[in-house]
Chain A
């Protein structure tokens, strides 16, 4: 059981000035799990993501990923360890092509040095070709390979969301954090996204943590769910348990699930 543990969050909290945005959060994720993180607006979900990825340093508590303490690591170092993410408000590299967006995330796959690039040594061509090949594979999975030379900003919204996931995957994560992947999608697109998440999880042997407001999606695919409210964890359990947890219903779900 313990060897299966991928992520452990112990008593983590963060304080901005006098405001305790998140406190006493305890979470764990086993390899291969698909876990949801839900909560009303402002509950601290994205703040938790930011602490997991090194954007914020928690003011208290310990985060352990794959046996390593994440304390003091910068976001790019956390990414190298194997945690990758998407953003709530899409953060693509707008003026880069779709392919280049993925290639940026593929950055650490090739090892050619700056000098070999400047003088166009064989290493440069080998590395860049490898990146090209792999990046196109990722685009194919998401059905984006036909748009590879399009600028990212010219893609329709749903595809931008998909490209963000493709880009996050290209960073070769073990743990993928999805911040509201279905935001702004219609039911059909959401359904498609659910299938896609299930597929990449199997294909890449991923552990996934997702923040989502779409209860249909969360209840549909997550095996366990954590519920945050006012910066504190108020419940965790299977979708069934969460659905019937009075505290959760009071804090957040309300009528939607009762109906």
Chain B
């Protein structure tokens, strides 16, 4: 069947990438510096894709994504460092905690629309950050010491899982309902879509994977601090989604990869780093105002005008 073929293509594609990188790591071609960039890239892809389901698919302008990342980061760090649980379990705990936070934040705020929603989510993200800042159990402002446990394998599996779940959600009746909300909320409602429900579902799924990314992030460096998860981090994630093209999953993946490479390269020029980074953003938006991919997916390019639609 056509649909399951696409699924296997996706799995094989993922396995090929994984094997190539794994061989390069074992062979010593990729030293720790590059491995770290790759893991950073994976984290950014997860964050971008998890925000894509909220902004790109459901059309809800949330700019507090770093808050859910923080929840995932702290809860998984507590699980490994203070409770001594295995890393794998800790990641799940972080993701579930973030999803729960998403549910709690989503139910009241998703009644709001547009700018008001943006401000409310930003506010909630700051509240989450301030809460962690004031809890001594997790180190307060000084931060929390976390052992380095993240490996390329964990990060990559995280990415595959994120894309798998979110792409499958999108290409189903549920995803279509969410897209209908983005396109015209009143019409979606009139066609029998429970708009509040799908907004909260999309928001929660987004929060879960932001939490997973947070867990992988917190175990990649040796310390996590509340300031890492401030609103600038939220904007970074937002930039991936907008630059990739609102509504395009592959676009947000490509943008996350592109900007991770740009910012890694620019770390050689610390003085001019932010200037060049901003210039790159401005140039891309000038020449591709709808983002790198627009609303198209990369898979559309390989279909030679045949019917689009279901990807995975």
Contacts and interface: CB of A to CB of B under 8 A. Distances in A.
B168 A119 contact: yes
B283 interface: no
Contacts of A168: 191
A76 B192 contact: yes
Nearest to B197: A76
B191 A171 contact: yes
Most chain-B CB neighbours within 10 Å: which of A87, A106, A107, A110?
A107
B201 interface: yes
A114 B174 contact: yes
B169 A118 contact: yes
A93 B180 contact: yes
A186 B4 CA distance: 47
Interface residues of B, number: 35
A221 interface: no
Contact of A95 (B3, B172, B188, B295): B295
Given A76-B192, A95-B183, A120-B168, A125 B176 contact: no
B310 to A, nearest CB: 8
Contact of B192 (A91, A108, A112, A127): A108
A96 B168 contact: no
Interface residues of A, number: 42
Nearest to B165: A118
A104 B194 CA distance: 11
B165 A91 contact: no
Contact of B201 (A93, A95, A114, A170): A114
Most chain-B CB neighbours within 10 Å: which of A80, A94, A114?
A114
B281 interface: no
Contacts, number: 115
A74 B196 CA distance: 11
A95 B187 CA distance: 14
A114 B183 contact: no
Given A96-B180, A103-B173, A117 B192 contact: no
A180 interface: no
A131 interface: yes
Contacts of B173: 103, 106-107, 110, 112, 117, 127-128, 131
B222 interface: no
Contact of A53 (B184, B190, B312): B190
A117 B191 contact: no
B168 to A, nearest CB: 5
A128 B174 CA distance: 11
A114 B198 CA distance: 10
A24 interface: no
Interface in A99-116: 99-100, 103-108, 110, 112, 114
B193 A104 contact: yes
B247 A104 contact: no
B192 A96 contact: no
A79 B168 contact: no
A79 B191 contact: yes
Contacts of B295: 95
A2 B270 CA distance: 80
Interface in B189-247: 189-195, 201, 247
A97 interface: yes
B127 interface: no
A85 interface: yes
Interface of B: 1, 3-4, 7, 165, 168-169, 172-177, 179-180, 183-184, 186-195, 201, 247, 295, 307-310, 312
Given A74-B189, A96-B179, A128-B173, 20 more contacts: A75-B190, A79-B191, A84-B191, A84-B192, A85-B190, A91-B190, A92-B183, A92-B187, A93-B183, A93-B188, A96-B180, A103-B176, A104-B177, A107-B176, A114-B174, A120-B168, A124-B172, A125-B3, A168-B191, A170-B191
Interface of A: 53, 55, 74-76, 79-80, 84-85, 87, 91-97, 99-100, 103-108, 110, 112, 114, 117-120, 124-125, 127-128, 131, 149, 167-168, 170-171
